[in-house]
Structure 1
Amino acid sequence: MTSDTTASAPTGRPWNDLSRSPRERAELLVKAMTLEQKIAQLHGSMQTIDIYSLTADMGSLSGEEMEQLAAQIRVERHVAGIEELGIPRFRITNGPVGVGMGDGHPSPPATALPMTIGLAAGFDAALAHEYGSVIGSETATLGQHVLEGPGVCLHRLPTAGRNFEYFSEDPYLSGVMGVAVTRAIQGHDVIAMGKHYVVNDQEYERFRTNVEVDERTLRELYLLPFEMLVKDAGIAAIMSAYNRVRGTYATENRYTLHTILREEWGFEGYVQSDFWSTRSAAPSINAGLDHEMPDAKWLGEDNVKAALQDTSLEIETVDRALVRRYTQMIRFGQLERPYAPGEIDAEAHGAVSRRIGEQIAVLLKNENGTLPLDPGVGTIAVIGQATYVDQACLGGGGSSKVDPLYTVPPVPGLQDVLDGLGSSDVITKVTVADDLSNLAEARSAAESADVVVIMAGLVATEGADQADANMLNDQNRMIAEIGPVNPRTVVVLKDGNPILMPWIDAVPAVLEVWNQGSEDGHVVADLLLGVVNPSGKLPTTYPRSWDDTPFAGHPERYPGTDEGAGYPVIRYTEGLRMGYRWYQSEGIEPLFPFGFGLSYSTFDISDLTVGPTETDGTAPLSVEVTVTNTGDRAGAEVVQVYLELPTSAGEPPRRLVGFAKVRLEPGAAERASVRIDPAATNHPLSVWDDGAHDFVVVPGEYTVHVGTSSADTPLTAAVTVR
């Protein structure tokens, strides 16, 4: 018998005693359960259907097959309740770009926020908290208990299918953003779930592939944001990945799930499998997996009872898994909370989404003051393929896709903003066919317009990586042929991955707005017309060509090679040289570096002070600079602090260790301060030492580099660590 509600604490249910700690209550609850009840709570309640053949190789699924799979996941994201014990139906919804596929018939609509990669471009933890608060609030309003997010895998591969829902190529930036989002979600008494643990940095063969990575690289890069989620945000849940890690599936990997996560980091939450990533019963639970989703393929009654019978599994281990999950449910008051879904304030949350979207756009190029556009320019031709000019670009295919409450398409949004400015400009639109068969019509419209706005981009999807870093449907040729026709042409990029831009010299202005979500039309219009000043910075490097990336000529790095194991093996042989670290280590100039972003204003940073300049490696460092708005528009600049470690540390040239976003009126100046604490969870001064099995500070001279991107750090200071 199941229930959606939990009555007030009756006599005989000591686990409802609010004076006890969450763990004590969870232990009492588990003690009262029968074996069958315990097993029923180890897994989701989706009815097992003939879907495993479909998921055997997710990378080979067609779009239609992905939608079929998504439809099954959409309506069965729960664990059945047990009314006699007061355990509610446990409702789980996907993230992390808004409330995605939740438990409902159908999944309830929500605010479609900008993609997570874009949020990271804000370089603003407060903005990330607002983002997470919208998600947490809507999850709670819809009666859901768990939000599967944030995702903190890294942008190791520029073409990875899920980069849109991960933050950055930098572990520290990813961690800061993830911590802020997690705290905000859990502030609404919703369980946040960090994913995908760990090194699920590509979608290709994700059900089969094995990732080989050395310990130092694993610790300093790929584990670091997860460590920050655990230690700084108190995250309640972690989702294990599909892939193998050093030959063992992530769901069975005791070293990552237990030794690191619990013994070393002190994680007290529970671990859920990604959907259908569980591969066994006893080995998975023994390793540290606590919950199987979405069904009972492995942790069902027959398998668990058989494992208990042959002693490959102990009942205490089953109890441990349940206590971990119930502790978090009780921590957030979910046993007492009735199921009473409400209505989302679409207007209010849409306004937040619009404000966030406007602060994360990155101005990549702006020759001759092309932007912002004059509201009285005359005629504006909006040109692009249907995905980018006919509808709001929601982005992000797969299980995290949000069913939007409403959308603002590009042309209506542009018209709204023009009307608000009292402009009589005329908008024309040409929807370019995917095969470019009407390119002549688009060229003609561009020639006759006063301003041309070309909208182009890419919508990536879970389950598949891109074939390369080019936009689909020959959009490069579209831009290359239309761009030179009109000297006042702006390219607006709507994507969730870095892309190649062979046409970059053909246009004077490029604005990266990402997959914006519901408020696409308003956000882009506000940015183009200067209602707001773009202030985003790239959270990932944009290469000039694929040959400049770590993967050109290195199939062992991606897509992996067959080493006789029967599955692909991907080796992270680039080591620590990932993202901007790769380009700096190899002396390669990217098209646009990590941390880069222009403004409609100009800024100057000066008067760097760093102290102390000599330390034993335990004292926090204070970094201060003066930021001055030297332009004629209000705007924001991001001060970025990078650290160069002593040569003996054997590190890439620099690592990001701090940043501060400063908003200034024209002519105003402000002192910006960044604190670098050696004891912080991102280990800013430390390197991983295999011998010590810990992070250690290397003695020597450290150089502090301060600037406005990873490639533009004009201010430096030396710090000696004794």
Structure 2
Amino acid sequence: MAAQRPPRGGTAVADTNAVHTDAAHADTVREEAVEAALAKLDLDAKTRLLGGQDMWSLPALPEIGLASLVMSDGPIGVRGVRWTADDPSVALPSPTALAATWDPELARRAGRLLAQEARRKGVHVLLAPTVNLHRTPLGGRHFEAYSEDPYLTGAIGTGYVQGVQDGGVGTTVKHFVGNDAETDRFTVDNEIAPRPLRELYLAPFEAIVANAHPWGIMTAYNQVNGVTMTEHRHLVNEVLRGEWGFDGYNVSDWMAARSTTGDIEGGLDVAMPGPRTVYGEALAAAVRSGEVAEATVDTAVRNVLRLAARVGVLDGAPAAVTEPPAAIDGDALAREIARRGFVLVRNEVRDEGAALPLRAGSVALSGAAARDARVLGGGSAQVFPEHVVSPLDGLTAALPEGSLSYVIGADPSDELAPADQGFTLRAVCRDASGAVIGEGSLPNGQVQWIGDDLPAGVTHEALASIEVTGTFTPRESGEHSFGTRGLGAYALTVGGRVLFDGVQSMGPETDPFEAFFGSPVERGKVALTAGETVEVSLRHTLDKEFAAPLPAVMFSFVHLGPRRDPDELIAEAVASARAADTAVVVVATTERVESEGFDRKDLALPGRQDDLVRAVAAANPNTVVVVNAGSPVEMPWREDVAAILLSWFPGQEGGAALADVLTGAEEPGGRLPTTWPVALADVPVTEVTPTDGRLAYAEGLFIGYRAWDRAGAVPAYPFGHGLGYTTWSYDALTATAESATVRLTNTGPRTGREVVQLYLAPVADTVERPARWLAGFASVEAAPGETVEVTVDLPRRAFEIWNEEQAAWTPIPGPYDLLAAHSLTDPRLTTRVTP
């Protein structure tokens, strides 16, 4: 991993040796406790331990002093076992934003905060990080993964895992392997040749196992080369455990385990969720019938007990961490990661200087996402933060009073969405007789109770209906639309008026997941006055005949504010921009564009947002665009605006961080972790849809910038690109095949941070390889005029390929050009190395 090399001395080595000795002794004691506990278990107890007892936990076994192991989703926050706002979570920026910092130590600090959150919520294992690659920008869940580059992904993932486990909480690195798209993800067979499988898709997992020693791995839904990943004994038992020495537990993605014998023989330790799994009684029966050896079950149980010992829930075993790191301020860290991850891709210098930082004067802000920011992605990454700072909030607080104006300009969506702003809601649960059996608060109009995630006192068996009830105080006058999403019977009332009383049925061709991810349906409109509160109610009667994939209650009370003429909204934004010194436009994707569960169809911004940017830029040449998206979008106006800042999904403090960066209080620190194209038509790899159940990774080694180089195409903004508020000269580069030292000087007017990127390019290749690839990186900070030096280790693997004939890593002698660069396409210094 790239880092500034610390000084070394005898004392530090002695201390390190002592730490290693203590850790080795603790490992020995834990292993002894694991073996003692295993010896006390009968077959039924063993197999029961390997299947979830509910949605998020494994059963306790009091006879061996084992408490229940609790898991939780959360790459950017720890949700806990209940999908509720009653226990809010810190919401950090998206994984793409974290990767854009190019800072493994910052990722480690993020991990420590998440461990702190997990311990507060009684969670032992975090189901993160996601280290699949950005094979194509059409991947719908790419906001939850780090990068198109395996080395950068592995480095950031290593820091994240180290940080979480510093806090004594386990990680589950996912999704092993090849879950790089969402289309048919439950069944798709991804056909990946051995070289790209090793050099690209397995590489981040291998680096994290080697450098961070994760306590868990999650195997994916998909197949790889004809074998379902939960049953893939070659990749799990022979590669992950055998070659790499992974000694943690292997858990299925939720509902991915489908074969009792296939899964246990394939190296799957835990089948989730429960209580109905392919393990438990079915696995015990397979052992008794001779289909499975009990020793195979013992191996899986041993892995689970080792995890329990590490997180401190097995009697007689010392926890891996007895003194967690010092407490971390979640708001402050969320704000720091956001601004460090913002990528300034354009900042034009004109007569009055650069567009950013903002000049003194008035600012005209527009864009629906400026008021209602999208701070996190949809799906299992979702948490409920205690508060959210929008761009409007952040700029209002930071700019002089009276200098900021705001208009909507354009809304990215004209689709009803879960009731949110202005709504105060709760859920009232009733049984078949109509008696109230429980109540719970709701953060918005979305009810999403999975497994036992129900209000206190409520069970799936007794639950017959749920009423979402409360009040709505509109922000705008006009006709408001209300509706439903999900299957079953509904009665919808607004202000005493019944808008709908009927049934939403599932047609014969409807996917059963329509109940979870279906489209909202408008049920009626009501004219309302801004500031005047009305009563609202949506009663949902469950369809007991519908067999959901798992016990769950999922439906939504949806709403859409008054629709104004789009041209009128844009004209309003133009008038505001024309009267201001600077125009700031915030554009965004929506949950129907980027989310878990589906891939993207295009890279266009939804709605009339492109038209808004063009019109505002024509009215004010000093237009700054903030792009609130988790992964690349087309920006057809990019040459027409003064500045473009990519904010990703910036977490709960995104608006405050945005104000820091726009005003110049802080420098935008990010560099692109993935290539941003001009248009989808230019993207070299776009296929995400299987043919006859198979998706061929026909591009082989060439994804991301490797593919752009091979195609000779020019993207809008290359991998590694990002501007700051100062300038740098690269003064000297010296290198061997083991490390490189770069000296550089801050030649600009203010203190800044630079990410030094090192790329290797073969001088004359005898094998097929990319034109160049990332081999190391490091961050430096310097005051104006200050010269700094940084040494970066070059991994041996950077000079090797996976030899398919020998099934082994093989060094390629070189020589190689080593490039010290500001970005992939902006090399500053070059030297030659020969390993």
TM-score bracket, normalised by the shorter chain, equals 0.7 to 0.9
Match of 1:153 among 132, 137, 155: 132
Report the equivalent of 2:803: 689
What secondary structure, in the 3-state scheme, does the structure 1 residue paired with 2:702 have?
A: coil
Match of 1:571 among 669, 682, 696: 696
Match of 1:653 among 771, 777, 786: 771
Deviation at 1:106, TM superposition (A): 6.8
The one-letter code sitting in structure 1 at the alignment partner of 2:285 is A
* Cα distance in 1 between the residues matched to 2:41 and 2:186: 34
The one-letter code sitting in structure 1 at the alignment partner of 2:800 is S
List gaps (5 residues or longer) in structure 1. Answer: 1-16, 47-75, 339-343, 563-567, 612-619
What secondary structure, in the 3-state scheme, does the structure 2 residue paired with 1:21 have?
A: helix
What secondary structure, in the 3-state scheme, does the structure 1 residue paired with 2:681 have?
A: helix
Match of 1:310 among 289, 295, 314: 289
What secondary structure, in the 3-state scheme, does the structure 2 residue paired with 1:713 have?
A: strand
Report the CA distance shift for 1:589/1:106 in structure 2 as closer, same or farther (over 3 A): closer
Alignment pair present for 1:362 and 2:343: yes
Which is worse superposed, 241-250 or 438-447?
438-447
Residue correspondence of structure 1 range 90-489 to structure 2 within 5 A: 90-102=69-81, 108-335=87-314, 348-368=329-349, 369-374=353-358, 376-377=360-361, 379-385=362-368, 388-418=369-399, 425-430=403-408, 432-433=410-411, 434=413, 436=566, 438-459=569-590, 460-489=594-623
* Cα distance in 1 between the residues matched to 2:326 and 2:79: 17
Residue correspondence of structure 1 range 585-600 to structure 2 within 5 A: 585-600=710-725
Report the equivalent of 1:14: none
Which is worse superposed, 279-288 or 625-634?
625-634
Report the equivalent of 2:672: 538
What secondary structure, in the 3-state scheme, does the structure 2 residue paired with 1:684 have?
A: helix
Deviation at 1:85, TM superposition (A): 2.9
Report the equivalent of 2:827: 713
The one-letter code sitting in structure 2 at the alignment partner of 1:108 is D
Match of 1:89 among 52, 68, 88: 68
Deviation at 1:410, TM superposition (A): 1.8
More strand by share: 2
Deviation at 1:20, TM superposition (A): 5.3
Deviation at 1:381, TM superposition (A): 1.6
Checking the alignment, whether the CA contact within 8 Å between 2:80 and 2:121 is kept in structure 1 is: no
Checking the alignment, whether the CA contact within 8 Å between 1:102 and 1:108 is kept in structure 2 is: no
* Cα distance in 1 between the residues matched to 2:679 and 2:182: 22
* Cα distance in 1 between the residues matched to 2:26 and 2:734: 51
* Cα distance in 2 between the residues matched to 1:477 and 1:471: 10
Residue correspondence of structure 1 range 629-648 to structure 2 within 5 A: 629-645=746-762, 646-648=764-766
Report the equivalent of 1:624: 741
Checking the alignment, whether the CA contact within 8 Å between 1:430 and 1:445 is kept in structure 2 is: no
What secondary structure, in the 3-state scheme, does the structure 2 residue paired with 1:268 have?
A: coil
Report the equivalent of 2:49: 41
Report the CA distance shift for 1:656/1:18 in structure 2 as closer, same or farther (over 3 A): closer
The one-letter code sitting in structure 2 at the alignment partner of 1:584 is D
* Cα distance in 1 between the residues matched to 2:634 and 2:367: 17
Alignment pair present for 1:702 and 2:816: yes
Checking the alignment, whether the CA contact within 8 Å between 2:69 and 2:308 is kept in structure 1 is: no
Provide the TM-score with structure 2 as the length reference. Answer: 0.74
Checking the alignment, whether the CA contact within 8 Å between 1:101 and 1:107 is kept in structure 2 is: no
What secondary structure, in the 3-state scheme, does the structure 1 residue paired with 2:251 have?
A: strand
Checking the alignment, whether the CA contact within 8 Å between 2:800 and 2:811 is kept in structure 1 is: yes
After superposition, the CA RMSD in angstroms is 2.2
Which is worse superposed, 204-213 or 638-647?
638-647
Report the equivalent of 2:497: none
Checking the alignment, whether the CA contact within 8 Å between 2:409 and 2:572 is kept in structure 1 is: no
What secondary structure, in the 3-state scheme, does the structure 2 residue paired with 1:454 have?
A: strand
* Cα distance in 2 between the residues matched to 1:86 and 1:430: 58
Deviation at 1:582, TM superposition (A): 0.6
Deviation at 1:637, TM superposition (A): 1.0
* Cα distance in 1 between the residues matched to 2:354 and 2:605: 24
Report the CA distance shift for 1:598/1:98 in structure 2 as closer, same or farther (over 3 A): same
* Cα distance in 1 between the residues matched to 2:409 and 2:291: 61
What secondary structure, in the 3-state scheme, does the structure 2 residue paired with 1:703 have?
A: strand
List gaps (5 residues or longer) in structure 2. Answer: 1-24, 320-324, 415-565
Checking the alignment, whether the CA contact within 8 Å between 2:85 and 2:385 is kept in structure 1 is: no
Report the CA distance shift for 1:428/1:370 in structure 2 as closer, same or farther (over 3 A): farther
* Cα distance in 1 between the residues matched to 2:629 and 2:710: 27
What secondary structure, in the 3-state scheme, does the structure 2 residue paired with 1:132 have?
A: helix
* Cα distance in 2 between the residues matched to 1:380 and 1:18: 59
Checking the alignment, whether the CA contact within 8 Å between 2:356 and 2:643 is kept in structure 1 is: no
Alignment pair present for 1:603 and 2:584: no
Which is worse superposed, 311-320 or 518-527?
311-320
Query: Whose RCO is larger (CA < 8 A, sep 6+)?
Result: 2
Checking the alignment, whether the CA contact within 8 Å between 2:343 and 2:669 is kept in structure 1 is: yes
Identity %: 35
What secondary structure, in the 3-state scheme, does the structure 1 residue paired with 2:186 have?
A: coil
Report the equivalent of 1:57: none
Checking the alignment, whether the CA contact within 8 Å between 1:170 and 1:539 is kept in structure 2 is: yes
Checking the alignment, whether the CA contact within 8 Å between 1:639 and 1:708 is kept in structure 2 is: yes
User: What is the CA deviation profile of residues 313-358 of structure 1, one whole-angstrom value per residue up to 9, with x for unaligned ones?
Assistant: 12221121111011122123233599xxxxx999921111111111
Report the equivalent of 2:790: 672
* Cα distance in 2 between the residues matched to 1:347 and 1:259: 39
Deviation at 1:444, TM superposition (A): 2.1
Structure 1 runs of 4+ aligned residues shifted over 4 Å read 17-20, 103-107, 344-347
Report the CA distance shift for 1:227/1:374 in structure 2 as closer, same or farther (over 3 A): closer
Query: Radius of gyration: which is bigger?
Result: 2
* Cα distance in 1 between the residues matched to 2:52 and 2:825: 48
User: What is the CA deviation profile of residues 573-630 of structure 1, one whole-angstrom value per residue up to 9, with x for unaligned ones?
Assistant: 111111001111121111100000111111111222123xxxxxxxx52212221111
* Cα distance in 1 between the residues matched to 2:290 and 2:179: 32
Report the equivalent of 1:505: 639
More helix by share: 1
Report the CA distance shift for 1:103/1:20 in structure 2 as closer, same or farther (over 3 A): farther
Checking the alignment, whether the CA contact within 8 Å between 2:114 and 2:164 is kept in structure 1 is: yes
Deviation at 1:715, TM superposition (A): 1.6
User: What is the CA deviation profile of residues 492-512 of structure 1, one whole-angstrom value per residue up to 9, with x for unaligned ones?
Assistant: 011111111111122111001
Deviation at 1:40, TM superposition (A): 1.9
Checking the alignment, whether the CA contact within 8 Å between 2:365 and 2:404 is kept in structure 1 is: no
What secondary structure, in the 3-state scheme, does the structure 2 residue paired with 1:700 have?
A: coil
The one-letter code sitting in structure 2 at the alignment partner of 1:250 is M
Which is worse superposed, 323-332 or 656-665?
323-332
What secondary structure, in the 3-state scheme, does the structure 2 residue paired with 1:649 have?
A: coil
